[in-house]
Amino acid sequence: MARSYLMTELHCGLTLQNKISSELLEVVDRTAKQAVPVTVSDGGQRKALTSTHLREKTSSGLAEALVKGDGGVENGFFSARDVAEPRKSSGAADETTVSSSDERVNCDMTTENGTVSVNLSTIAESAKEKQQPNTNEGKFGTLDSQVEEANRLLQSSATSGKSKEARLAKVCAGLSTRLQELKSENAQLEELLRLEKEAKSSISATLHLLQGELALARSGTNAAESEMVAALASKNSEIEALSISLETANRQAQAAEEKLALVQAGMESIMKNREITETRMIQAAVQREAELEQQMAESTTAVTRMQRIVDERSQKAFELEQKAAMLEVECATLNQELQKMELRARREQKKPSEEFSQSAWREEAERARVAQREAETKLSILEAECQKLRVDLASAKQDFDVSSTQLGVETYVPVISLKFLMDSGLQAHIELQKQYKEVMELLFLKQAQLEKVSSEKAAMQFQLEKESKKFRDANAEVERSRRQFSAIGVDDDNELKSFETLGLHQRRMVPSLQRFVGPSIQAAAKFLDSGAVTAGRYLWRRPLARLFVVCYLVFVHFCLMYLLHRLQAKTIEEIEAAAGLMKNG
């Protein structure tokens, strides 16, 4: 349907193209009578062509020469916009209008200016309305474009020459190649259809055979079912009980599976959250570590700088201390000299005759005092500088200690936080492991319950098969005994019903003995049968009980052998003692 629709659209487009070409040729024929240039305008751009040139371009693809508004010819249709703005002049205009059934072409000819303006707006609009390809069918797009190109080449091949023929041959070759590909695909599809039909025929034959076998099997099954209806009537209650217990076990198993699925989903979500948390913790730790490394590098640089400043100040303080020590020594020497001079002055004061020498000594003592004061002043200045340097050194050391302490704290706190996060993650992991162990223990418990239920089901099925087999054997024995009693003239079925579960020997007992022995033997047989079934079921469910029973039987056997051996030895000793007494007597 899509291809036929596309071919219809293609045919309409080609028809429209032919109409447009014929109308353009008529316009060119009309303008050819006037030996004036033709101006074609498209969106504000004008192109001047002579009528002869226009005629040549029309025969070799007029649409490519006149219409360039949307890229020339698109898929064999014209797609120009509103074109041909008529030129206005001061002279008189001769206007000619050519009409068709679908479009209108306006030609404005101005004789004084020597130009002709062609309006192709209606043609382009109608071509755009016709040109809407179906993009939903992309399978035949290339083929349809090739067919359109071939049609366009066929229409313009009359005056185009060898180049158009070559292009037409190329398009034809492409179409033939595509036709061959379609033929090969059609052949492959036919081969696949043939193989599918053969397979279908073989499958239908096999199906007929299977239906025949199924009919035979159904007939046999119906016969077997008719035989088993009476036997299964007495076991319906047990089957219902077993089905109820099985449904209960299935519901429990389903609930356990749902709980297990919920627990697994919770564990998966917890594991995902844990992985996300660990990833975030690791990223935060890495980022914090990078920040700490950067801070440590900055702190190391600052500490190095401060250490250098401290070293410089320590060196200065040491030098100042050396200078202070030298000044102290010098001050001490000056004090000693001053004391010596004072003593000398005092001695000289005792001599009144020597006034000149006394004044000299006084002047010398005064100079010594001035020198001492200057030395003390210098010493105080040096001590002040030394004290200042000591204070600076102490502040630098304090800053260094504070920075180192802060760096240690900043380094230690992220480590502690990281350790705390790791401990919390480890604790969460331990809790998850505990939850996982609890879930696994619950799963093992549910599996054990399922195995127990399956073993009970198997035991019940085994018991059911055993009872059905016993029932069939009993029916066979009843029929056999009935035939035997009918042969000897006994037709009382009530006496045989109490012995249905017993063996053949008991059923052949004398009718007089059946009256006294039959009920007790039947009760004992039922008791033994139920006890054996119960013991077998118990041992079937519990392997350790089976092993214990085997070990107990072996132990009892060895004990009996030991007791028999002791009794035999004691008997031999008593016989020998009796023989000795007889000899002595």
Residue range 76-105, pLDDT digits in tens = 333 333 333 333 333 333 333 333 333 333
Question: Same domain, yes or no, for 66 and 213?
Answer: no
Question: Same domain, yes or no, for 138 and 166?
Answer: no
Residue range 481-492, pLDDT digits in tens = 667 655 544 444
Residue range 373-415, pLDDT digits in tens = 776 676 677 667 767 766 766 676 676 666 556 555 444 444 4
Kindly report the CATH number assigned to the domain that includes residue 385: 1.10.287.1490
Residue in this structure with the two tokens 């081969």, named with its chain if needed: 191
**239 domain residue, yes or no:** no
DSSP-assigned letter for residue 350: T
User: Interhelix angle for 51-59 vs 2-32, to 10°?
Assistant: 160
Residue range 417-447, pLDDT digits in tens = 555 555 655 666 677 667 667 766 776 776 6
CA distances in angstroms from 439 to 428, 447, 450, listed in the order given? 16, 12, 16
- Among residues 446, 476, 494, the one where a domain terminates is 446
Q: What confidence tier does 16 reach under pLDDT thresholds 50, 70, 90?
A: low
Question: Same domain, yes or no, for 267 and 380?
Answer: yes
Lowest mean pLDDT among 57-66, 333-342, 511-520: 57-66
Question: Same domain, yes or no, for 130 and 190?
Answer: no
Question: Same domain, yes or no, for 353 and 218?
Answer: no
Residue type at 430? I
- Among residues 111, 143, 175, the one where a domain terminates is 143
- Among residues 395, 411, 446, the one where a domain terminates is 446
**397 domain residue, yes or no:** yes
Question: Same domain, yes or no, for 288 and 387?
Answer: yes
Strand 37-42 versus strand 115-119 pairing type: parallel
Rg (CA), the chain: 63
Q: What confidence tier does 548 reach under pLDDT thresholds 50, 70, 90?
A: very high
Task: Give the residue from 408, 402, 414, 405 showing the smallest Cα distance to 291.
Answer: 414
Question: Same domain, yes or no, for 74 and 167?
Answer: no
Q: In this structure, which long-range contacts are made by residues 5-9, counting pairs with CB atoms below 8 Å and at least 24 apart in sequence?
A: 5/134, 6/133, 6/134, 6/137, 6/140, 6/144, 7/144, 9/130, 9/132, 9/133, 9/134
Task: Give the residue from 99, 96, 64, 104 showing the smallest Cα distance to 80.
Answer: 64
Question: Same domain, yes or no, for 125 and 199?
Answer: no
Question: Same domain, yes or no, for 278 and 358?
Answer: yes
Q: Which residue has the higher pLDDT, 141 or 3?
A: 141
What φ, ψ does residue 257 adopt, rounded to 5°?
-65, -40
**59 domain residue, yes or no:** yes
Residue 169 structural domain:
161-233
**364 domain residue, yes or no:** yes
> How many whole angstroms separate alpha carbon 139 and alpha carbon 212?
48
**254 domain residue, yes or no:** no
| 500: enclosing H helix or E strand | none
- Give the chain's domain count: 4
Question: Same domain, yes or no, for 222 and 328?
Answer: no
**485 domain residue, yes or no:** no
H-assigned helices in 33-140: 51-59, 62-66, 121-130
235-274 in b/e form (b: 16+ CB < 10 A) is beeeeeebeeebeebeeebeebeeeeeebeeeeeeeeeee
Q: Looking at residue 374, what is its pLDDT? A: 72
Lowest mean pLDDT among 96-105, 275-284, 544-553: 96-105
**246 domain residue, yes or no:** no
Q: Which residue has the higher pLDDT, 103 or 565?
A: 565
**457 domain residue, yes or no:** no
Question: Same domain, yes or no, for 300 and 428?
Answer: yes
**Residues comprising the chain, all counted:** 585
Kindly report the pTM of this predicted structure: 0.22
CB-count burial class (<10 Å; 0-12, 13-18, 19+) for 45: exposed
**Greatest CA separation found in the chain?**
196
Question: Same domain, yes or no, for 341 and 387?
Answer: yes
User: C-alpha dihedral over 481, 483, 485, 491, to 10 degrees?
Assistant: 110
